[in-house]
A and B are shown apart, each in its own frame.
Chain A
Amino acid sequence: MGRANARPPFVFAMPTVVIPALLRKFTGGLERVEIPGKSIRELVRHLGEQFPGIDQQLLEDGDIRPSIAVSIDGEIATGGVLDSVSENSEVHFIPALGGGGV
Chain B
Amino acid sequence: MAASTTTGNFKVIGTRPIRHDGVDKVTGRAKYGADYAFPGMLHGKVLRSPHAHANIKSIKIDKALKLPGVKAIVTSKDLPQAENKIEQAGEMAINPMYLSMNILAHDKALYDGHAIAAVAATSPHIAEEALRLIEVEYEVLPPVMTVDVATKPGAPILLKDLRNKEEGDKPTNVAQHYQFKRGDLEAGFKSADYVIEREFNTAMVHQGYIEPHNAVGIYNSDGQATIYCSTQGAFDVRSLSAQVLGMPVGHIKVVPAEIGGGFGGKTTIYLEPLSVLLSKKTGAPVKLVMSRSEVLRASGPTSGSKIKVKMGATKDGKLVAAEIWMAYEAGAFPGSPVGAGAMCIIAPYTIENFRIDAYDVVVNRPKTAAYRAPGATNAAFASETIIDELAEKCGIDPLDFRIKNGVKEGAAQVVGPPFKRIGFIQTCEAIRNSPHYKSKLTGKFRGRGVASGFWFNAGMQSSATVNIHTDGTASVVTGSPDIGGSRASMAMITAEVLGLPVTDVRPITADTDSIGHTDVTGGSRVTFATGMAVYEAAKDAERQLIERAAKVWEKKPDEVEFRDGMLHAKGNSVPPMSIKQLAPRFPRTGGPITGRASVNARGVGPGFATTCVDVEVDPDTGKVQILRCTVAQDAGKAIHPSYVEGQMQGGTAQGIGWALNEEYFYDDKGTLRNSGFLDYRMPTCLDLPMIETIVVEEANPGHPLGVRGVGEVSIVPPVAAVANAIYRAVGVRMTETPMSPPKLLKAMLKHRGSTQHSAAAD
Contact = CB atoms under 8 A, between A and B. Distances in A.
Interface in B116-152: none
Contact of B88 (A21, A66, A73): A66
B604 interface: yes
Do most interface residues of chain A lie in helix, strand or loop, or is the interface mixed?
loop
A75 B523 CA distance: 16
Given A96-B93, A99-B360, A100-B86, A22 B417 contact: no
Contacts of A66: 85-88, 93
Given A67-B93, A96-B93, A98-B90, A74 B458 contact: no
Contacts of A96: 88, 93
B89 A98 contact: yes
B416 interface: yes
A77 interface: yes
Contact of A94 (B86, B335, B415): B415
Interface in A73-89: 73-78
B176 A97 contact: no
Contact of B179 (A22, A65, A67, A75): A22
Given A22-B179, A66-B87, A97 B417 contact: no
A101 interface: yes
Most chain B Cβ neighbours within 10 Å, of A21, A75, A94, A101: A101
Nearest to B92: A98
Most chain A Cβ neighbours within 10 Å, of B85, B86, B181: B86
B602 A78 contact: yes
Given A22-B179, A77-B602, A90 B88 contact: no
Most chain B Cβ neighbours within 10 Å, of A67, A96, A98: A98
B585 interface: no
Contacts of B90: 98
Interface residues on B, range: 35 or more
Contacts of B456: 97
A18 interface: yes
A97 B523 contact: yes
A94 B416 contact: yes
A21 B181 contact: yes
A39 interface: no
Contacts of B232: none
Given A21-B181, A67-B86, A97 B602 contact: no
Contacts of A18: 416
A81 B620 CA distance: 62
Contacts of B339: 95, 99-101
A45 interface: no
Given A66-B87, A97-B523, A98-B90, A71 B176 contact: no
A71 B417 contact: yes
Interface of A: 18, 21-22, 65-67, 71, 73-78, 90, 92, 94-102
